[in-house]
Structure 1
């Protein structure tokens, strides 16, 4: 359902559930973290059936910013403010979760001389279609607020905009509950409860059914660089990688080598087609390497699909020149779920036990791509940051060929974490990847660009594991001791994007069925 098109809201059914929730939040303001109240009103259907669209209607988001926020605005000589909001809303059912973004805009409002400031935004929101029976719960998450500021005579202030990130108050458990919609079985389609048959792929707007039983990794997701003992020794060429005197990571092939099993054709990569693409939607494939420092090796990040909904660019004038900033929303996509395809990793655990595991990376919150370009003609330089809350889940494992029953809930206890350059603006646990770009007119651009892709790098801490084991056997400490820890370098390669929502997508970007044409290869 993430990044579904913002269709006009349908009329509310006769039987509807009215929601009016006032939730405590903490907003990161220039003056520091400040408490705020976020009031969300909406109308949900009282009940639904499997396969039936659930469309919240009459949605409003009112943010009451405290007096300290007003003081920040008046210090910038702002007399009028225009607000846009992006509220992350989690939909959970049967132990599975996915997230949508509820966007809204507000009419211009005057900035008071003192006291609080209430800003109310409205907008249509994505629909949700449940793929299984059971209670479907909606919970409010983080809130991003964009404020466009102007002075009394209508000219932009300096800076002309302000971005504020608000998160649910830490004392509010599980975020802010909004509504629960019971979902009954739909018409039978050959499966219990009216669920689609296994051959039917869930649309992007569907809530994923529970995870299937562990399956082999898809073709092309194996490790490469196999030495004589049959175990991979791939190392990403970043901090923490062991190097030979020649500078190449120990055991790694030359940079030009393509790892065995790297996808090179359309049949060996997951589908990356966004059925709800808008003119601002991009689709792309990503892949790469991630070091596992404790195991003295690295693993291929499988070719994965990502949907990107481009945000509106803004212009900021700073002492070093004019900056063009843009924040876009992104979402992993694999068979209707916000995750990578399952992939296998093989290492020598504790230096002697060959261990193979089937893993997935699951997105558990909003992912963003934020770019900042400094335009000093003829030189343009840019920095891009990808922020993604990802949980590492273990589907199955074998030690020395013997199946190890990890149970259905083996995963890291929290998302992977990276050093965050702006922790006040971006609190919480998430992965951070950074890319740099440069262009000297009239030469072509080099490095990372959102549309043309490129390399993004970062360093991640793998948290401790929880929920591992079955039949009373607790394997949490085994996985934590083997894998968890800091200093794991990541190098991700993004391919050329496809403007999937255009009426006539460029042939050098997209296939005939509007999937990304370029399948990138991992680089060390």
Structure 2
């Protein structure tokens, strides 16, 4: 490849080329396809040399949705939206092209009574490095807009989120080109203007041809970041300092399932349906489960077997002082009967130390969820870190104290998403859960730990916010739930099973069932 998308780094430019362009798009809204205007502002260097990193700065993406979008949101009783955007940008040179994703987030915006809805997001974007001379062009492509919806009283709407897919208007004259940066020959390019072969950009520290290629998929799956396929998943990350790990049980290990002689699970038990009807070649599906502490109640509750859809992002390569890193950010979403949530599950505790309380709960996804992976490839040792970020609200559907039913009403939930300490708050603002997993492989030994494709253990610590909307018939139960459940220091251990490459024509039998559901159903581990 002549180009490689890298992680953000400082771009050096003699002069700045400022871009401000408005492009016609068509967005798929609940009411149907609607015209929209997407305005992109950015600053590029006006020229660069081969091998020099180019990073657009001051990037904003403004989406103006028509009045029909406002009507759709009003019908969903949404009074406030929080937007996240993912804009595909093609970087092309000398007939070759690579894709990058410009991601942005916005502060909450009120839904107007009528007229258009304007959403402006900002964020860092990937670096692009040209390894040949010639004009380097940047062209805007498809745009995905994720909307977290809130009602007038501050609670999540129903549904709590809306995904809007936008594409450039095919009938428009504009081609989406944002900027062209001339690339001058550098000292190590050989012939001026020459286009290097793939090996020209591989440093001596990269693994030899006999080692695994981190940019290639395993078992014919779509490209994905991760170590070579896990044959025997080992221990996951250690629990965070101060977290109270549930007593008893074994250490993190491979997701387990009762196997038939063919190697597929013998029975699906209570596992919910996990089939993506709109799978693409890069779509993965998987089951997750685990345990979560409720520190105030001095106990741990099982997280039910739940379905998650993962849409893999484009892997990128970055050369750092410690070696070559393969990085990837993938989008994910929970799925249960058409909603972004877990199946309902029961939790039983001794409230205040003496009152047996049973509650029926749901974890509801209220915004975009991501899986960020970073693998250091120093042959023969491969190590990886993965972070899962998910905005999840805890809903209470039913509660009984000492056998007597409490009427919690239809809107009992945490007033905001569960929150974790975020290691990169500038890049990932807002309230969300953070889970972390590590992986390692020393060739030729099997890989251990967590990988996106083969799963493993992810751990984290979460604060449960105060509750809101609990009670019916004039009885306010908010303070009761807040006093008995809410608070910091709740340790979580989640186990992800082997993924199913649901978009492949012939996925491996040990990964997928005949109807393209994940074959492996993991067991929770304490």
Partner of 2:340: 338
Partner of 2:140: none
Check conservation: 1:379, 1:438, Cα contact below 8 A. Answer: yes
Cα distance in 2 between the residues matched to 1:121 and 1:98: 22
> Could you report, residue by residue, the CA deviation over 1:54-103 in whole angstroms, capped at 9, with x for unpaired residues?
2345x6633324x6x879x99x9556869999999997554589999865
The 3 A distance-change label for structure 1 pair 313 and 421 is same
The 3 A distance-change label for structure 1 pair 108 and 443 is closer
After TM superposition, the structure 1 stretch with the greater mean CA deviation from structure 2, 324-333 or 264-273, is: 264-273
Larger RCO, structure (CA 8 Å, separation 6 or more): 2
Partner of 1:147: 126
The 3 A distance-change label for structure 1 pair 442 and 87 is farther
Partner of 1:290: 292
Cα distance in 1 between the residues matched to 2:89 and 2:252: 52
Check conservation: 1:273, 1:515, Cα contact below 8 A. Answer: yes
> Could you report, residue by residue, the CA deviation over 1:349-393 in whole angstroms, capped at 9, with x for unpaired residues?
110111111100000111000100001110000000000000001
Cα distance in 2 between the residues matched to 1:78 and 1:238: 36
Check conservation: 1:81, 1:108, Cα contact below 8 A. Answer: no
Determine if the alignment matches structure 1 residue 371 to structure 2 residue 354: no
Residue 105 of structure 1 and its aligned partner are, at CA, apart by 2.9
Partner of 1:391: 393
Partner of 2:518: 516
1:21-420 alignment runs, 5 A limit = 42-43=25-26, 48=31, 54-56=32-34, 61-65=38-42, 78=53, 92=73, 93-95=75-77, 103-106=86-89, 108=91, 146-150=125-129, 154=133, 249-250=246-247, 252=248, 265-420=267-422
Query: What is the root-mean-square deviation of aligned Cα atoms in Å?
Result: 4.7
Partner of 1:220: none
Check conservation: 1:493, 1:523, Cα contact below 8 A. Answer: yes
Residue 146 of structure 1 and its aligned partner are, at CA, apart by 3.6
Cα distance in 1 between the residues matched to 2:267 and 2:295: 31
Check conservation: 2:359, 2:399, Cα contact below 8 A. Answer: yes
Q: Secondary structure at the match of 1:498?
A: coil
Q: Secondary structure at the match of 1:294?
A: helix
Check conservation: 2:418, 2:462, Cα contact below 8 A. Answer: yes
Residue 334 of structure 1 and its aligned partner are, at CA, apart by 0.3
Check conservation: 2:60, 2:120, Cα contact below 8 A. Answer: no
The 3 A distance-change label for structure 1 pair 469 and 256 is same
Cα distance in 1 between the residues matched to 2:477 and 2:56: 54
Q: Secondary structure at the match of 1:268?
A: coil
Count of matched residue pairs: 382
Per the normalisation by structure 1, the TM-score is 0.62
**Structure 1: gaps of 5 or more residues:** 1-27, 49-53, 111-119, 123-134, 158-166, 176-203, 207-235, 244-248
> Could you report, residue by residue, the CA deviation over 1:189-215 in whole angstroms, capped at 9, with x for unpaired residues?
xxxxxxxxxxxxxxx999xxxxxxxxx
Residue 149 of structure 1 and its aligned partner are, at CA, apart by 2.4
Check conservation: 1:287, 1:303, Cα contact below 8 A. Answer: yes
Cα distance in 1 between the residues matched to 2:125 and 2:61: 9
Check conservation: 2:249, 2:525, Cα contact below 8 A. Answer: no
